[in-house]
Amino acid sequence: MKQFWILFLAFSSICASPKAEPANPKAYLLMLYENRGGYSIPDEEHHFILQEGGHPQYGEIPFDSAAHILADLNLSQHDVFYDLGCGVGKLVLQTYLTTPVKRSVGIELSKTRFNIADSCRKQTILDDHTTPNRDLIFLHQNIITANLSDATVCFLSSLAFPARLVQVIMDRLSALQHPVKVISILPLPDHKQFKLIKTYQLPMSWASEGVDVCLYTVTPASAIDACNTINKKRRKKRKRHIQSEEN
């Protein structure tokens, strides 16, 4: 009888434990988003997004293209991923399911697209594909004003973003006190804190032949200032050394 209860408790604990990521995340997301698309939204949402400084045009990064970038990023449990303008949330879920990030966050201004994303988040929880101490979050907010203070990696599907919106996002990320990696579906304007690391040529939903996807690192202003101070001191020291040799 004792052996029976030991086996029963062991079996119960296995059944109760979270399944974590699905065996095939690509197939799972395909199933999860069946008949759930973000291409069509009401006219009033179009107008609202334009009024708020965004753009309602929609496109998606395919699973394999995203997987290529995520593998390169080598994300850890210390990373916090943001998709700024996440649409129906596919990339946010893929990042959560296939990397160990501490938090995967999607921000979306369209109520229709946000509702689809959050519905898929809830279904992922019901399917036991979330894990303790890791957050999967969707926010119905404007990326101009949303809190990005904990972001370490940001994705910008910036193809249709107005120039002013891109500049605001760059200014906000450059103001953070820690380094950030930024993936953008277009080259970003020159900025002293943004350094282009790599350019990918990857298929997108609107361009099967591939488009440029740019990976940047953003260095905090405080780190740049500290580096400039050190270099300035070195130049002064070198100048004094040269003057002493001449004397």
Position 180 pLDDT exceeds 60:
yes
The model's confidence at residue 9, banded by pLDDT at 50, 70 and 90, is very low
| pLDDT for position 231 | 54
Q: Residue 223 and residue 229: Cα distance in Å, rounded?
A: 10
| pLDDT for position 11 | 43
| pLDDT for position 105 | 98
Q: Residue 26 and residue 40: Cα distance in Å, rounded?
A: 23
Residue identified by tokens 């799972």 is 28
CB within 8 A of 65, min separation 6: which ones?
A: 202, 203, 204, 213
| pLDDT for position 160 | 85
pLDDT more than 70, % of the chain: 81
On average, the pLDDT of the chain sits at 87
Q: Residue 37 and residue 32: Cα distance in Å, rounded?
A: 11
Position 189 pLDDT exceeds 80:
yes
Structure tokens at 109: 């201004």
